[in-house]
Amino acid sequence: MTHKLRIATLGILLLTALITGCTTTAEIKTPEATEVTTTQQAQQQPETEAETEAEVEAYYMDDLDLTMLDGSETSLYAYEGKIIILNFWATWCKYCVQEMPLLDEINTRDDVVVLALSTGEDSETVKDYIDKYGYAFDVFVDEAGTLSSAFGISGLPTTFFIAPDMELLHVQPGMVTEESLDQIMTAIEDLLESKSNQ
C-alpha cells in the first residue's frame, strides 16, 4: 500500500468515525473494511493520487487540560513526541474492560503512550479499578464528561490515535482488538516512516 493510499485510508476511517458516531458494540472497522466494493463508490474516488492527497487535510489536536487521578493537572501536549493513544472509557463499560490489557501492553513501547481518560466517573471509583488490575498507563478523569462531549463521543470506548507532532491520525469508535490495534499501528508506523523519508 502506497503512502498516499494509507493517508487516504486513514482519512476515510476518520471521516467514517466522525459521521457514524461512536458505538459500544464489538463491531470493529479496520482499514481493510473500508475498501471500495461497488462501481458507484469507485466512481466517487479521485482518479489520481494527486487528487487523493489534496483531499486529505491534516488535523492537529488542540492542547487539552487533563486531570490526573490525584487531582494534579497536565496537558495533552506534555506527551508530544510520542504516538499518543487517547482512550475514552469507563469502568462499567464491558468493551473498555476487554481492551484494557491490550492498551496496557502497547503502553510498554518506548514510542507510544496510552492516556486513559475515564468519562463520567469520580476519581475514587477509577483509582480503585486501576489499582485492582495494576494498569501502568496514565489515567485521567473527566467526571463531568466535558471532554467527551466536546469531541462528540456518544459511546465508549472511543480511541484517538495521535502522531508525535499532534496530528490526529485515526479515531476508533468501539473496542480495539489485537488484530485491529496491530493494523492501525502498522499503518501509523508506515505513515510516519514515509513522512520522515520526505
User: Which pLDDT tens digit goes with each residue over 128-141?
Assistant: 999 999 999 999 99
pLDDT of residue 17 exceeding 50: no
pLDDT of residue 48 exceeding 70: no
How much of the chain, in percent, has pLDDT values that exceed 70?
Answer: 72
Tens of pLDDT along 148-186? Answer: 999 999 999 999 999 999 999 999 999 999 999 999 999
Lowest mean pLDDT among 55-64, 70-79, 183-192: 55-64
pTM over 0.85: no
Cα gap 106→95, rounded to integer Å = 17
Q: What distances in angstroms separate CA 87 from CA 99, 102, 148, 157, 196, one per listed residue?
A: 10, 12, 10, 7, 26
Range of the domain at 149: 3-196
The CATH number covering residue 49 comes to 3.40.30.10
Is the distance from CB of 100 to CB of 164 less than 8 angstroms?
A: no
pLDDT confidence bin for 53, thresholds 50/70/90: low
156: cell is: 465508549
pLDDT of residue 109 exceeding 70: yes
What SS3 state is found at 110?
A: coil
pLDDT of residue 49 exceeding 60: no
Can you state the angle between helices 178-196 and 3-20, rounded to 10 degrees? 130
Split into its structural domains, the chain has a count of 1
150: cell is: 466536546
